[in-house]
Amino acid sequence: MKFTLEAKIPRRDLLMGGLAGAAGLLLPAWARADDYPSRPITFICPWPAGGTADQSMRSICQVASRVLKQPIVLDNRAGAAGMIGAKAIAAARPDGYTIGQIPISVTRFSQLGMLQLDPRTDFTFLARTSGQTFGIAVLPNSPFKNLKDMVAFAKTQPGRVTYAHSGVGGATHVGMEEFALAAGIQLNPIAYKGGAPALQDTLGGQVDMLVDSSSWAPHVEAGRLRLLATWGEQRTARFKDTPTLKDFGYNVVVDAPNGVGAPKGLDPAVERKLREALRFAVASDEFKAVADKIDAPVMYLDGPDYQKYVQTMYDRETQLIQRLKLKEMLQKG
Which CATH number does the domain housing residue 209 bear? 3.40.190.10
Q: What is the pLDDT of residue 123?
A: 98
Residues 159 and 206 in one domain: yes
- Interatomic CA distance for residues 118 and 121, integer angstroms: 6
Final residue of a domain: which of 255, 288, 305?
A: 255
Residues 150 and 234 in one domain: yes
- Interatomic CA distance for residues 125 and 90, integer angstroms: 11
The reply to whether 28 falls in a domain is: no
Which phi-psi region, left, alpha or beta, contains residue 189 (left: φ > 0; alpha: ψ -120 to 50)?
beta
Number of CB atoms found within 10 A of residue 91's CB: 11
The reply to whether 293 falls in a domain is: yes
Residues 142 and 239 in one domain: yes
pLDDT reading at 325 higher than 90:
no
* Mean pLDDT score of the chain: 89
The model's pLDDT over 161-204, given as tens digits with 9 standing for 90+, comes to 999 998 888 889 999 999 999 999 999 999 998 888 999 999 99
Strands 259-263 and 123-130: antiparallel
Final residue of a domain: which of 206, 226, 255?
A: 255
Strands 162-165 and 209-212: parallel
> Residue 261's beta-bridge partner residues?
100, 125
Question: Exposed, middle or buried by CB within 10 Å (0-12, 13-18, 19+), for 191?
Answer: middle
pLDDT reading at 218 higher than 90:
yes
Number of CB atoms found within 10 A of residue 149's CB: 14
Residues 251 and 141 in one domain: yes
The reply to whether 226 falls in a domain is: yes
Q: What is the pLDDT of residue 327?
A: 87
Residues 69 and 139 in one domain: no
CATH of the domain at 53: 3.40.190.150
The reply to whether 19 falls in a domain is: no
- Interatomic CA distance for residues 48 and 323, integer angstroms: 30
The reply to whether 118 falls in a domain is: yes
317 to each of 28, 110, 134, 143, 288, how far by Cα in Å? Answer: 39, 10, 18, 34, 29
Which phi-psi region, left, alpha or beta, contains residue 113 (left: φ > 0; alpha: ψ -120 to 50)?
left
Average pLDDT of the residues in 138-158: 98
The model's pLDDT over 253-308, given as tens digits with 9 standing for 90+, comes to 998 898 999 999 999 999 999 999 999 999 999 999 999 988 888 999 999 999 99
Average pLDDT of the residues in 112-116: 90
**Amino acid present at 273:** K
Where residue 93 falls among pLDDT bands split at 50, 70, 90? Answer: very high
The model's pLDDT over 1-60, given as tens digits with 9 standing for 90+, comes to 443 333 344 444 434 444 444 444 444 444 456 799 999 999 999 988 988 889 999 999
Residues 212 and 63 in one domain: no
- Interatomic CA distance for residues 129 and 120, integer angstroms: 18
Where residue 333 falls among pLDDT bands split at 50, 70, 90? Answer: low
Q: What is the pLDDT of residue 330?
A: 76
Q: Residue 319, Cα to own-chain centre: how many angstroms?
A: 20
pLDDT reading at 226 higher than 70:
yes
- Interatomic CA distance for residues 47 and 75, integer angstroms: 9
pLDDT reading at 102 higher than 60:
yes
State the alpha helices, DSSP H only, in the chain.
Answer: 5-8, 11-26, 52-68, 83-91, 106-112, 147-156, 171-183, 195-203, 217-221, 268-283, 285-293, 303-324, 326-332
Q: In what order do the strands lie in the sheet with 259-263?
A: 72-76, 41-45, 98-101, 259-263, 123-130, 298-302
Final residue of a domain: which of 255, 276, 295?
A: 255
User: How many domains are contained in the chain?
Assistant: 2
Q: In what order do the strands lie in the sheet with 226-230?
A: 188-191, 162-165, 209-212, 135-138, 226-230
Number of CB atoms found within 10 A of residue 30's CB: 15
Residues 46 and 194 in one domain: no
Strands 41-45 and 98-101: parallel
Q: What is the pLDDT of residue 177?
A: 93
Peptide bond into 94 cis (omega under 30): no
Full residue range of the structural domain in which residue 143 is found: 135-255
Return the DSSP state at 243.
Answer: P
Which distant-in-sequence residues (6+ apart) come within 8 Å of 268 by Cβ?
none
Contact present, 130 and 299 (Cβ < 8 Å): yes
Average pLDDT of the residues in 85-105: 96
